[in-house]
Amino acid sequence: MIPDLKKNTEARMKKSIEAFKGDLAKVRTGRAHTGMLDHVSVDYYGAPTLISQVAKITLLDARTIAVTPFEKKMIQPVEKAIRDADLGLNPSTQGDTIRVPMPMLTEERRKELAKVVHKEAEAARVAVRNLRRDANNSLKEALKKKEVSENDERRAQDDVQKLTDRSIAEIDRLLKEKEAELMAV
């Protein structure tokens, strides 16, 4: 029972960290990267479809993303979807390719993004702590039902705490990396 609980808790903490990484990827820095458009969907014959499924997304240079729709008539809908995605991007069409230049980040905008990243990190930490609480409650419940001994329960709580500490340290490391990336000019 205890090994399953630890394994389950560890897996769920890893999922929280992965979700945090996904949230960090959405926060843009001054550099262009194709992942910025991953969650943007376009109306493709009446069905919302991710841009990556209707167009090839590449980098032209460090500040420009190129989007080349597979079908010529999808150029306008893709350009509109990028503009309407609330990413602060202003795409322009050149032939069969849509160029998406990355605007320079001002110091004020960098600080705002750093605050957003801090909020995301705190949300991830809270999620990890909630998982710790759930695991500890399960252990206490098992102790009440006499399924585990007090020593086993105490050891398992220590192990869950170590998992929590490692997960929070990983979140803090990712936060520091993203902050450094944001503040780099």
Closest CA to 54 of 40, 64, 65: 40
pTM (two decimals): 0.68
Give the domain extent around 47: 34-101
- The pLDDT value given to residue 166: 96
Residues 91 and 39 in one domain: yes
* Number of domains into which the chain is organized: 2
Please report, for the chain, how many H helices and E strands are present, in that order.
Answer: 5, 6
Query: The CATH number of the domain where 168 resides is what?
Result: 1.10.132.20
- C-alpha–C-alpha distance, residues 53 and 40, integer Å: 11
Residues 40 and 87 in one domain: yes
Distances (CA, A) of 168 to 55, 125, 126, 163: 37, 6, 9, 9
Residues 91 and 120 in one domain: no
Residues 22 and 113 in one domain: yes
Condensed to tens digits (0 to 9), the pLDDT of residues 25-77 reads: 777 666 777 777 878 889 888 898 999 899 999 988 888 899 999 998 989 99
- C-alpha–C-alpha distance, residues 15 and 118, integer Å: 19
Closest CA to 98 of 69, 70, 62, 73: 69
